[in-house]
Amino acid sequence: MTETRPATDPPEERVAPFHYNARGQQCFTWTLTDCDITDPVQLRIGPDLILPVIFIPGVMGSNLKSVPEPDSDKTRSVWRLDYGFAGVPTPLLGQWASQKAGIRQSLLHPDRVQVDDEGGVPNVPWGMVQDDQQLLPAQRKAALMRRYRERGWGEVGQTSYERFLIWLEHVLNSPTVPRHLNYALELEDKHWEDPTAAYRRLKAGMDLFMPRLNGADRNGDEDDGTKPLTTDDLLAGVRFNMPVHAFGYNWLASNTDSAKKLKQRIETLLEQYGSRCKQVLLVTHSMGGLIARMCATLPGMESAICGIVHGVMPTNGAPVAYRRCKVGMRDESFGTSLVIGSNGQEVTAVFAQSPGALQLLPTTRYAPGWLKLLRENQSRTLSAMPALDQCPYDAIYLERYRWWGLVKEEWLAPKGGTAIEWTLYERAIKFAREFHAELDTYFHPNTYVFYGSDAKYPSFETIRWNIRPGLRAAGTAQAAAPIESIFNARHTDVQHDGRTIIHVRSRSALNNASPSYVDGTSTPGKPTYSNWEIHCAMQDGVGDGTVPTSSGRAPIDQAERGEVREQLKMQGFDHEGPFRMEQVQLVTLQWILKIAAQAKKPS
């Protein structure tokens, strides 16, 4: 039966559904109706320009798979952060929890892995990733997942980043919610030219606050707040759609190599989106910030990138990278250590062959004296070693014989692994030195930074080796080795099993004699006898649990020409999880909108 209506019925609002293709173009679909239905069909046209937002994860935040053998295309997952039980990466935990140093060294080698783009992705529409109504329902889910993979979402850890990527895609590109409503702004009648108009327009030159930032945008001081958004920012950026992409990288390889691949990705996107896209915007987490900065130094990239938002970037490195090579991660976090490595052997086996990991070590710009050997003397703590870290590469990282050098050489050849020659390790340190020197104090001219500084997440500002009296058998006549000799002790002079206690000139208990400390006190049991024990102390500063405050806040101190537009000290998150926190998300959104307002538009 033909549908008819009385002539007096009000017109029915009919809106054509649409989706976006890979070039960011709107594609409308409509099924023809009976000719008696004459209500107009609306084609709601979105912004006409494209500004891709590329998210760059931190170290270990990208999925990796094996490089196929010659004459084969078969690969296997090596590192994939997909959802498991209770939303945590239980498959990854099960894969690595029981693996010894040799297996870790063989599988997690920079030349034997590549980015895995088959990680978990959403299967529902968000933002510009919408259903194609011309497809059958069973085909729509596969089409959505394919589009997210085209955006690179399958390259990065699902458990770490998917919720943030979904939120950002929705808040920037929702097809149903007006943008100013998504931005959680404090909008009043005074902000509109005509508050009663059907289609309202913002007044120019007015501040806009985000109430859920708890006043952070009402205080523009260097470390305590950001400047508010303005209506000018929103009006300038309103012409852009901002599709959210992700860039996974081989975090074992040099960050210089990853920066070059990021450049290729940027060039590909600019070509893909065509004449409507002139620049991209980068949002980074941790080591991803180092890659983004290096990428911006490559030919043509500073102008191709309209701005960068850095989160918890280890600007000058982090001493904890040294500590984990010496004693593992077990006493920091038992659960995480099952994956990263619970002792020095397990961490060193991977770390020493991976230029990307070595580039997280403290640079020459980190505060001198971060490596300490301390002894107690009449209730005072005195240094037992000279300051070595004016040039940490030669003095610490390439120290081959003394026990406090970064790497114990025998750990380069674990059982079941592929031995690393010392010359190859030296080459990897050379890459780290060159990377640090080339990056130096460069920051993109439009940089925004947040970092963690929270006493709830203590961090290692320094590494402190504390000397304590060892246990000696009762009646031992031989005098203890002088404490001054510990600095020059070699690996062969100490017993070190990759955990926090190092025994100096130790020997196993051979009888049942009661042990006693050098200072004469006694203890039950039969532990290892030694002249001295060296204990690696726990955190001595604040930060985010990994990057100490001094390194996180370094950009504002080092930027020579005002490249860092705003920098914010924040609390309430650990290093792995800042983008799960609402305030971090809103600060990131605010900075994205400020950068978008300055982006180039086609002439």
Residue type, 28: F
What does the pLDDT average to over 360-368?
A: 94
Distance between CA atoms of residues 333 and 328, nearest Å: 10
Tokens 């070590």 correspond to: 361
**pLDDT at position 518:** 42
Report the range out of 32-41, 240-249, 513-522 with the highest average pLDDT: 240-249
Banded model confidence at residue 93, pLDDT cuts 50, 70, 90: confident
Q: What is the C-alpha to C-alpha distance for residues 424 and 31, in angstroms, rounded to an integer?
A: 65
Which residue matches tokens 């088959």? 118
The confidence band for 524, taking pLDDT boundaries of 50, 70 and 90, is very low
Would you say residue 248 has pLDDT above 70?
yes
Task: Give 362's Cβ-side CA count (13 Å radius).
Answer: 31
Which residue has better confidence, 463 or 2? Answer: 463
Tell me: the pLDDT tens digits for 283-329? 999 999 999 999 999 999 999 999 999 999 999 999 999 999 999 99
pLDDT at 479 over 90: no
CA–CA–CA angle 513, 536, 94 (5° rounding):
100
124 DSSP 8-state letter: S
From residue 127, alpha-carbon distances to 22, 63, 174, 590 in Å are: 14, 24, 4, 18
Rounded to an integer, what distance in angstroms lies between the CA atom of residue 555 and that of residue 566?
10
pLDDT at 211 over 60: yes
What is the pLDDT confidence band of residue 45, given thresholds at 50, 70 and 90?
Answer: confident
> Which two three-digit tokens encode residue 317?
């490195």
Q: How far is 330 from 500, CA to CA, in rounded Å?
A: 9
pLDDT of 512 above 60: no
pLDDT of residue 588: 97
pLDDT at 165 over 70: yes
Nearest to 91 by CA among 79, 107, 101: 79
> What is the band of 138 on the pLDDT scale with cuts at 50, 70, 90?
confident
Beta-carbon contacts of 511 under 8 Å, excluding residues fewer than 6 positions away, are: 473
DSSP states of 332-350 as a string?
A: T-HHHHHHH-SSHHHHHHH
Region class of 300: left (phi > 0), else alpha (psi between -120 and 50), else beta: left
Summary mean pLDDT of the chain: 88
Higher confidence at residue 101 or residue 385? 101
Average pLDDT for 456-479: 83
Buried b (16+ CB within 10 A) or exposed e, 10-26: eeeeeeebbbbeeebeb
Highest mean pLDDT among 334-348, 476-490, 554-568, 577-591: 577-591
What is the per-residue pLDDT for 382? 67
User: In the numeric block, which tokens belong to residue 338?
Assistant: 């099952």
Q: What single DSSP character describes residue 393?
A: I
Residue with the larger pLDDT of the pair 7 and 542: 542
Stretch 254-280: mean pLDDT, rounded? 96
Pair 91, 207: CB distance under 8 Å: no
pLDDT band at 477 (very low <50, low <70, confident <90, very high): low
Average pLDDT over residues 549-566: 93
Say if residue 28's pLDDT is above 50: yes
Number of Cβ atoms within 10 Å of the Cβ of 365:
16
Q: What's the pLDDT at 378?
A: 53
Q: 3-17, 147-161, 243-257, 492-506: which range is least confident on average?
A: 3-17
Predicted confidence at residue 8, as pLDDT, reads 55
Between 257 and 3, the more confident residue is 257
The pLDDT of residue 523 is 46
Residue 449 has pLDDT above 50, yes or no: yes
pLDDT tier at 159 (50, 70, 90 boundaries)? very high
Mean pLDDT of all residues in 424-447: 96
pLDDT of residue 187: 87
| CA 78/CA 62 separation, integer angstroms | 11
Residue 23: C-alpha distances to residues 51, 210, 511 (Å)? 12, 32, 77
Q: pLDDT tier at 113 (50, 70, 90 boundaries)?
A: very high
What is the DSSP-derived secondary structure letter of residue 457?
E
**24 has a pLDDT exceeding 80:** no
Q: What is the model's pLDDT at position 514?
A: 42
pLDDT digits (tens, 9 = 90+) for 486-511: 888 999 999 999 988 999 975 543 33
Query: What local confidence, expressed as pLDDT, does residue 603 receive?
Result: 74
Residue among 463, 443, 449, 458 nearest 575 (CA): 458
Asked whether residue 188 carries a pLDDT value surpassing 60, the answer given is yes
Percent of the chain at pLDDT > 90 equals: 61
Helix (H) or strand (E) holding 504: strand 501-504
Q: What is the pLDDT confidence band of residue 475, given thresholds at 50, 70 and 90?
A: low
Distance, CA of 441 to CA of 364 (rounded, Å): 11
Q: How confident is the model at residue 474 (pLDDT cuts 50, 70, 90)?
A: low
Contacts of 33 (CB under 8 A, 6+ apart): none
Position with higher pLDDT, 237 vs 35: 237
